Amino acid sequence: MLSLFLDALVAAAPTTEKPKIAVMEIQGGGVEAHVAAGLTEAITQEIAGRGFFNVISSREIQTLIGFERQKQMVGCSSETTCLAELADAMGARFVLSGTVSKMGDAYQLSVQTLDSAKSQPLGRSIRFAKDMTALRSQIAFVVAEATQTPLPPPPSRVLPFSLIGAGALIVVGGAVVGIDGVSRDLALIRELNSGSVIRTYSAYQAEGASISTEKTAGLIAAVVGAGLVGAGFFLNPPEVVSGAKVAFVPALNGAAVVGVFP
């Protein structure tokens, strides 16, 4: 009966030229269940958004078929095995699975894709990160490596570099204006201390006000420029290195180096 039901599902499914990929739940090792579930959802959305595959999520499979009921009928030994068999029955050639584990203060995400038609791995990706935020930022590269699809384009750095460049120019300009104001102030002080007053009192007042304005403008420009430089560095996206992945993981007797090289 289950096979007839699956055949009906396949027949009712819309035809598409894109290959189907079933995304298994990311298994957690030493991490909370909601963390692994969040990574599964992020990976599923990333694959769907890239447009190379027609995605079947594990949640969709479990929704279409009562999971506990189908597990008993199929007689699989584990949840992953059941989902893989059901995905294959629904016409998904590729099956993506993975694990996320905590190693000391670092996190490791390992994802691989199986080509069920050839019974061999299509691709694999292993990444290390100091926290979950950094790990999530690498999802696009993980998916590309695991599914053997093109790497995403590098993030644009036009805005941050523009802010840094403009901020640096403003800082330099402010410094020049400020230094000129300080030089004029010192020259005015020397003139007043020399005892040879050659200008009227109002002229000295005007000169002092002009110097004060110049120094204030220089200071404001330096502060604004420094703020733009800081904003540029803050908005500059981090580098995501593709290739060798190495991490330092604290161990009981010191630190260990772990990594995977392609």
Q: What is the mean pLDDT of each run of 10 residues along the chain (262 residues)?
A: 45 62 85 87 91 84 63 57 64 87 87 84 88 88 90 82 93 93 88 76 86 92 93 80 45 44 38
Buried b (16+ CB within 10 A) or exposed e, 102-127: bbeebbbbbbbbbebeeeeebbbbbb
Residue type, 217: A
What pLDDT score does 134 carry?
A: 85
Residue 56 structure tokens? 């079947």
CA 220, 221, 226, 229 dihedral sign is positive
pTM of the full predicted structure?
0.56
Number of C-beta neighbours around residue 130 at 10 A = 12
Q: Are strands 20-23 and 54-57 parallel, antiparallel or unpaired?
A: parallel
Question: What per-residue confidence (pLDDT) applies to 202?
Answer: 86
Report domain extents, the chain: 2-155, 158-235
Write down the pLDDT at residue 253: 46
Provide the pLDDT for residue 143.
92
Domain 2-155: CATH superfamily is: ABC-type transport auxiliary lipoprotein component (3.40.50.10610)
- Strands 20-23 and 94-103, sheet pairing: parallel
